[in-house]
């Protein structure tokens, strides 16, 4: 199911005494969040915050929200998940939001056999790893160009050509 509001990070602390927060980004780069004016604190978009400033800072992103002008106000936001509106985002061709991949059925690109459903995505640095569940078992699939044949989140469908040994006992 395509969601309108997407999880994009977590407020992990404050920065300074004027209300700035530190956000751990759940994206390829903290730079991605710099293009947003509005952030949300719930998956339905009811709690909207307007950003006065957004900038990467090492492994986190610093955000100053309008109206959050003290460390006490910022502290109340700690541990909250931050969402963005899908309509405010654009991704390059071949890139997908993790939220859109979760729940997609995974099929063999050649035979059409179903391997299972994507239940999670781990970001390892080198490449993402898709967690595929079927019949109580979990399989880990490297999300690399050689394996992924087609991705269609709108149809909740992914087609792959898996490496030997991932879904069977082959060497």
pLDDT for the residue numbered 1: 64
Segment 151-155 shows an average pLDDT of 90
Same domain, 59 and 20: yes
- Provide, rounded to the nearest whole percent, the portion of the chain with pLDDT above 90: 73
Reading the block at residue 50, the tokens are 């307007």
Choose one of 86, 119, 150: the last residue of a domain: 86
Same domain, 31 and 61: yes
pLDDT in tens, 96-140: 888 889 999 999 999 999 999 999 998 877 788 999 999 999 999
Reading the block at residue 137, the tokens are 């078992």
Segment 147-156 shows an average pLDDT of 92
Choose one of 59, 86, 113: the last residue of a domain: 86
Buried b (16+ CB within 10 A) or exposed e, 146-169: ebbeebebeebebbbebeeeebee
Residues of the domain holding 28: 5-86
In whole angstroms, how large is the CA radius of gyration of the chain?
19
Query: Into how many domains does the chain fold?
Result: 2
């Amino acid at each position: 199911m395509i969601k309108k509001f997407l999880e994009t990070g977590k407020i992990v602390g404050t920065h300074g005494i004027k209300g700035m927060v530190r956000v751990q980004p759940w994206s390829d780069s903290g730079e991605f969040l710099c293009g947003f004016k509005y952030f949300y604190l719930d998956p339905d978009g009811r709690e909207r915050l307007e950003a006065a400033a957004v900038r990467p800072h090492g492994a986190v992103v610093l955000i100053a929200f309008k109206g959050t002008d003290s460390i006490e106000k910022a502290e109340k936001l700690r541990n909250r998940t931050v969402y963005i509106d899908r309509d405010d985002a654009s991704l390059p061709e071949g890139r997908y939001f993790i939220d859109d991949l979760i729940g997609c059925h995974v099929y063999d690109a050649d035979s059409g056999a179903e391997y299972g459903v994507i239940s999670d995505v781990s970001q390892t640095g080198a490449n993402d790893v898709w967690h595929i569940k079927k019949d109580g078992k979990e399989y880990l699939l490297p999300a690399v160009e050689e394996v992924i044949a087609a991705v269609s989140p709108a149809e909740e469908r992914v087609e792959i050509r898996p490496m030997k040994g991932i879904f069977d006992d082959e060497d």
